[in-house]
Amino acid sequence: MKAIISIELYKIFRRPRTYIAFGAIAALIMVIQLGLKMDGHSYASFLMKDINDTLTVDGKVLNGYLICYILLQLLLVHVPLLVALIAADMISGEANLGTLRLLFTTPYSRTQLVMGKFIAASIYTIVLLIWLAFLALFVSMWIFGTDDLFLLKSNYVVLIQEKDVLWRYVGAFVFASFALLTVTSLGFLMSSIANNSIGPIVGTMSAIVFFTILSTLNIPLFAAIKPYLFTTHMNNWKEFFDIKVNENNEAIYGTILNVAKIKTSIIVLTLHIILFVTASVIITKRKDILS
Amino acid sequence: MSVIQVNGLSKHFGALKAVDQLDFSVTEGEVFGFLGQNGSGKSTTIRMLLSLIHPTSGSIELFGKPLNKYRDEILEEVGAIIERPDLYPYLTAKEHLQLFAKLRNKHVGENSIQDTLVKVGLADRSKDKVQTFSLGMKQRLGIAIALLHNPSLIILDEPTNGLDPQGISDIRNLIKQLAQQEGKTVLVSSHLLSEIEQMATQIMIIHKGKKVADGPIQKLLDPNKMIVHIKTTNDAQTLQIILSGSFSNYLLQRTDGIYLRLPDYEIPLLNASLVNAGVGLIGVETRNSLEDYFLQVTSNTIA
Amino acid sequence: MKKIIKYSIAFLLVIICNTVHAQVDPLIEKVSQKLALVNDYVAEGIMKTDVSFIKASLGKVKVYFKKPNLLKVKKEGGISLLPKGGVSVTINSLLNTKQYIALPAGTQEYKGKTLRVIKLVPTDEKLDWVISTLWIDPSDALVYKTFTTTKENGSYEITMEYGEFANLGLPSKIIFAFNTKDYKLPNGITLEFGDEDAAAKQKALKNKKGTIEITYRNYVINKGVPNNMF
């Protein structure tokens, strides 16, 4: 299995297409960082207009931690599309190239080959996430400095002490890895069905958009299925940045408001990953390789 | 020993019977020619032998073991090139071999990789990306991948596709060497019947998914039964004479002229009967090639 | 006729104001004298923010004061939230200007004490407050509560508790209370979608008061504070 994973990784990182995602993330992040560095105060003022009517906020609000949060909010909607570019190409891309039949005549079972490909695609996803984390968090910290994290949510504000922030980002990125691996496994499943890459890539993106709409619309008709949709859970990395308060409305250092929500989301996402990958293996085992 | 043993092999794609009750065996050390028209079921059969396609019914044994139970073990000893040589355009020739060497349980070292590249004539292009290769070069690389791990059974589907005459000759000699000197078993399918005729010891012809002929080439191309092509001044009268006489059984259903398959001693008798009937003979051509045999069996004529 | 009545009332008010101004309330004077002992101070404290839509933890702060009315609250590292304009309306800033008329307004019971209620009306238009009510304990000339209406930043209620620095009129705890405006950011900005509880949460957070409380741990008094701290 190690041999399969190593050659799949080799193939992934030898393809020029792989680096599109890394470049796109770097470009997006740098543009946003540049914009916020040049004119971030206007943006912050706009966000804080309700607060500024009543309170004076003193300190470095627009610091690296807040910038990273803004970046993650924006990018964790778009990064799944970049993940799908590779994941949805893993099997169908080889079928289209014609190399799938070469692979499937080697002395490895189809299960081993499919699992090896999935693990390689997962490693790519994690490397992409680490790249995102490095640029979004550490480069932002370097450019904008650090301070408390002043988070403006839709209905309330959370002020997290500086020392209490970094571990939350570690947790959020670990959570994001589950979310992105769900996308990887979905793309992989689509890839196992088709013989070309366009269909699975578009199919994966369409599925994410479709289910995201179902997850975000507050329509009673969809309320029953929402808890089971992976898109409902993908954004719950934000729960790492909500804090418990005591009876005196004091935020409690080192706490997360709704740990159960995070746990539930991780379980749901993991189940989706298992389901999609298992389906990929079954489909690939049963199909005739005609390409 | 039978390296390949196929019994009652069938593959249906819906209502289409791509392969229908195929039985054949390939003995160790043979060069087995696998012939058929486009769409006859050759590639489907080869893919079933390599477990790329699941048979609808029947059994396949390679090296005396059922393929469906010992697949991984069996494929370690099989090298194959299937149809066109599809490769990774962004990798070099050497990188391809290094990659596929890792997918073998047998250790394949750098020396083996280099030797294989030399064998197929790609040693000086080993560091070039495949996207710069011609079809013929890709074909050579595909063959190199098939031979890399020193397999006992080599399955080559159209191996001379895209090669120039020198390349075709090289591959032919390579196949002969693999069988005669290295004791390998080779199953070759090709449209170039003349090439198969030169290298195969045994052939099988399939037509519309069914076997229509198999056996040693020498036996099938019976020198005692020649194919005679008669050119006359009056083909209609000639046909009438043949059909009304004792030669009717030898007549072949061909649209490109009057062909008979008959023992060589009957030829002068045929000539005499035509001349006596006043038919002007332009020429009598005798042939005993595989192509003729192939065309004969695939046009549903009794051999 | 109406014009004559209006002018007469205004004339009377001016007379009254001037008369009252000429008579400075002795209790206010007592308070001012106590405060005059402090030219500047640096105080360490713990700040607690209690606003319905804000989740914040306790934070260490340093409070800098310099006569007559310079005041700065600085969080030691981190972001601080202070009532807009409210911090500046402390007793020092109110009384040190001397630009007010003090109007007695009776007494009131407050936490077991009988406090005198005095209203201050500024005489200088440039001051940013409109009227301020003080609750003062006549026995120790300590101000326990103020309620100040500012020109631009709403009204603030400040309550004070005293401890070891009571003799200098410096509180051990000060609580700023103020009305909070509704807080809401569109989901399209925060990218928070699909929250079924949003409407309920929003309702719960509306129209609440907020408080910011500073508990002082020690004061360093009259050791000098540079102007650049403010």
**pLDDT confidence band for C52 (50 / 70 / 90):** confident
Nearest CA-CA distance, residue B83 and chain A, Å? 10
The arithmetic mean of pLDDT across residues A54-61, rounded, is 83
Averaged pLDDT, B148-172: 86
- Counting residues of chain A whose pLDDT is more than 90, the rounded percentage is 73
Q: How far apart are CA A186 and CA A100, in angstroms?
A: 20
- Angstrom CA distances, B184 to B26, B76, B181, B195, C18, stand at 12, 14, 8, 19, 123
Any idea which of A21-35, A38-52, B27-41 has the lowest mean pLDDT? A38-52
What's the complex ipTM? 0.81
Q: Give the helix/strand (H/E) hosting B33.
A: strand B31-36
CA atoms of B222 and B235, how far apart (whole Å): 27
- Residues from chain C that touch A235, judged by Cβ atoms under 8 A, are 191
Q: What is the pLDDT of residue B216?
A: 84
- Counting as contact any 3 or more CB pairs under 8 A, the partners of B are A
The mean predicted confidence, pLDDT, of chain B is 87
Determine the residue among A54, A62, A168, A237 to mutate to test chain C binding: the one whose Cβ has the most chain C Cβ atoms within 10 Å: A54
pLDDT of residue B267: 84
**In chain A, which residue's Cα lies nearest the Cα of B45?**
A290
Higher pLDDT, B147 or B85: B147
| Closest residue in A to B148 (Cα–Cα) | A106
> Which residues on chain C are in Cβ contact (under 8 Å) with A75?
none
Q: What is the per-residue pLDDT for B301?
A: 44
- 3-state DSSP assignment of residue B26: strand
Nearest CA in chain B to A9: B99
List, for residues C169-213, the tens digit of each pLDDT value: 889 999 988 877 777 777 766 767 655 555 555 555 555 678 888
Segments making up each domain of chain B, as ranges: 2-219, 226-287
Q: Taking CA atoms, what residue in C is nearest to A223? A: C196
- Strand-pairing partners, residue C54, are A157
Which residues in chain B are closer than 8 Å to A97, comparing Cβ atoms?
86-89
Please name the member of C52, C55, C196 whose beta carbon is closest to the beta carbon of A159.
Answer: C55
Pairing of strands B31-36, B185-189: parallel
Taking the CA of residue C202 and the nearest CA in chain A, the distance in Å comes to 6
B105 neighbourhood in chain A, CB within 8 Å: 107
Do the Cβ atoms of A156 and C181 come within 8 Å?
A: no
Whether C54 sits inside 8 A of A156 (CB atoms) is yes
- Going by their DSSP bridges, the two strands C54-56 and A157-160 should be labelled as parallel
Residues A166/A172/A174/A176 CA torsion (nearest 10 deg)? -150
The whole-number pLDDT of residue C193 equals 62
pLDDT over threshold 50, residue A94: yes
**Count of Cβ atoms closer than 10 Å to residue B74 Cβ:** 24
pLDDT score of B228 more than 90: no
Across residues A191-201, what is the average pLDDT?
92
Confidence at residue B245, expressed as pLDDT on a 0 to 100 scale: 83
Put simply, the answer to whether A150 touches C196 (Cβ < 8 Å) is no
> How large is the average pLDDT for residues A3-20?
92
pLDDT, tens digit (0-9, with 9 covering 90-100), for B235-247: 888 988 888 888 8
Mutate which of C71, C81, C87, C209 to test chain A, going by most A C-beta atoms within 10 A?
A: C81
Q: Which residue from B minimizes the CA distance to A12?
A: B90
87-146 in A: which are within 8 Å (CB) of B?
97-99, 101-109
CB C215 within 8 A of CB C172: yes
A11 neighbourhood in chain B, CB within 8 Å: 88, 91, 99
Going by pLDDT thresholds of 50, 70 and 90, the confidence category of residue B125 is very high
Distances (CA, A) of B277 to B256, B274, B285: 23, 5, 20
For residue B5, the model assigns a pLDDT of 95
What residues of A are in contact with residue B157 (Cβ under 8 Å)? none
Chain A positions in Cβ-Cβ contact with residue C52 (cut-off 8 Å): 156, 249
Chain segment B9-54, per-residue pLDDT in tens? 999 999 999 999 999 999 999 999 998 888 889 999 999 999 999 9
Which residue of chain B is at minimal alpha-carbon distance from A1? B103
What does the pLDDT read at residue C20?
A: 46
Contact flag A147-C77 (C-beta cutoff 8 Å): yes
CB nearest to A58's CB, from C56, C82, C179: C82
Residue A127 above 80 pLDDT? yes
**At residue B159, what are phi and psi to the nearest 5 degrees?**
-70, -20
The confidence score (pLDDT) of residue A65 equals 95
Q: Can you tell me the mean pLDDT for B177-195?
A: 86
In whole angstroms, give the CA distance from residue A72 to residue A64.
12
A73-A78-A80-A83 Cα dihedral, nearest 10 degrees: -130
Select from A57, A245, A249 the Cβ nearest to the Cβ of C81.
Answer: A57
Whether A213 has a pLDDT exceeding 60, the answer reads yes
Cα–Cα separations (whole angstroms), residue C129 to A237, B93, C36, C116: 46, 84, 21, 21
Record the tokens describing residue B112, joined without a space: 């083996």
* Matching residue, tokens 């400040």: C158
Whole-angstrom distance, CA of residue A48 vs CA of residue A4: 52
Lowest mean pLDDT segment, chosen from A174-178, B128-132, B133-137, C95-99:
C95-99
**List of residues 6+ apart from B24 with CB closer than 8 A:** B4, B6, B204, B211, B214
Helix-then-strand count for chain A, H and E: 13, 3
Establish how many alpha carbons lie within 13 A of residue A108's alpha carbon, considering only the half-sphere containing its beta carbon. 26
Given C54, C84, C186, which is nearest A159 (Cβ)? C54
Give residue-wise pLDDT tens across range B268-296: 888 888 888 898 888 888 776 677 777 77
User: What is d(CA C7, CA B302) in angstroms, rounded to the nearest whole number?
Assistant: 135
pLDDT tier for residue C153 given thresholds of 50, 70 and 90: confident
Give how far C57 is from chain A: nearest CA, Å.
4
User: From the CB of residue B234, how many other CB atoms can be counted at a distance below 10 Å?
Assistant: 14
Arithmetic mean of pLDDT, A98-103: 92
pLDDT at residue number C168:
84
Q: Are C38 and C65 in contact (CB under 8 A)?
A: yes
Domain boundaries, chain A: 2-286
How far apart are the CA of A80 and the nearest CA of chain B, in angstroms?
25
Tally C-beta pairs within 8 A across A and B: 76
Taking contacts as CB-CB distances below 8 angstroms, the residues of chain C near A232 are 194
- By Cβ distance, the residue of B52, B71, B78 closest to A288 is B52
Contact: B47, A101; criterion CB under 8 Å: yes
Q: What is the pLDDT of residues B75-118, one digit of tens each?
A: 999 999 988 889 999 999 999 999 999 998 878 888 999 999 99
Distance from A263 to chain C by nearest Cα, in Å?
18
Residue B53 and residue A290: Cβ atoms within 8 Å? yes
Farthest-apart Cα atoms in chain A, separation: 71
Q: At a CB cut-off of 8 Å and minimum separation 6, what does B254 contact?
A: B295, B299
- Determine the topology of domain B226-287 in CATH: Alpha-Beta Plaits (3.30.70)
Q: Residues A30-39: what's their mean pLDDT?
A: 93
Phi-psi region of C22 (alpha: psi -120 to 50; beta: other; left: phi over 0): alpha
Best probe of the B interface among A1, A17, A101, by most B CBs < 10 A, is A101
Domains of chain C, with CATH numbers? 27-229 (2.50.20.10)
What is the three-class DSSP state of B167? helix
What are the residues facing B188 on neighbouring strands? B33, B156
- The yes-or-no verdict on residue A96 having pLDDT over 80 is yes
Q: How far is CA A284 from the centre of its chain?
A: 26
Number of other CB atoms surrounding residue B62 within 10 Å? 27
What tokens does B224 get? 């005692």
Are the CB atoms for A76 and A8 separated by under 8 Å?
A: no
Q: Do chains B and C touch (3 or more CB pairs under 8 A)?
A: no
Q: Which of A50, A53, A158 sits opposite C184 (nearest CB)?
A: A50
Chain C residue whose CA is closest to A222: C194
Q: What percent of chain A has pLDDT over 70?
A: 100
pLDDT at B126 > cutoff 80: yes
Say what the pLDDT of residue C172 is.
Answer: 92
C22 pLDDT exceeds 50? no
The answer to whether domain B2-219 has CATH 3.40.190.10 is no
Distances B224 to B199, B200, B205, C49 between C-alpha atoms, Å? 22, 21, 21, 110
Checking if the pLDDT of A291 tops 80, the result is: yes
Give, to the nearest 10 degrees, the angle between helix B267-276 and helix B235-244. Answer: 120
Q: Is B100 helix (H, G, I), strand (E, B) or coil?
A: helix
A23/C6: higher pLDDT: A23
Burial-class residue A96 by CB neighbours within 10 Å (0-12, 13-18, 19+): middle
Residue A195 reports pLDDT greater than 60: yes
B and A touch with 3+ CB pairs <8 Å, answer yes
- Which positions ≥6 away from B41 have C-beta within 8 Å? B11, B18, B19, B20, B22, B206, B208, B209
Return the percentage of chain C with pLDDT > 70, whole number: 77
CB contacts of C198 in chain A (<8 Å) are 154-155
Q: What is the average per-residue pLDDT within A214-241? A: 89
Please give, rounded to a whole number of angstroms, the shortest distance from the CA of B70 to a CA of chain A.
10
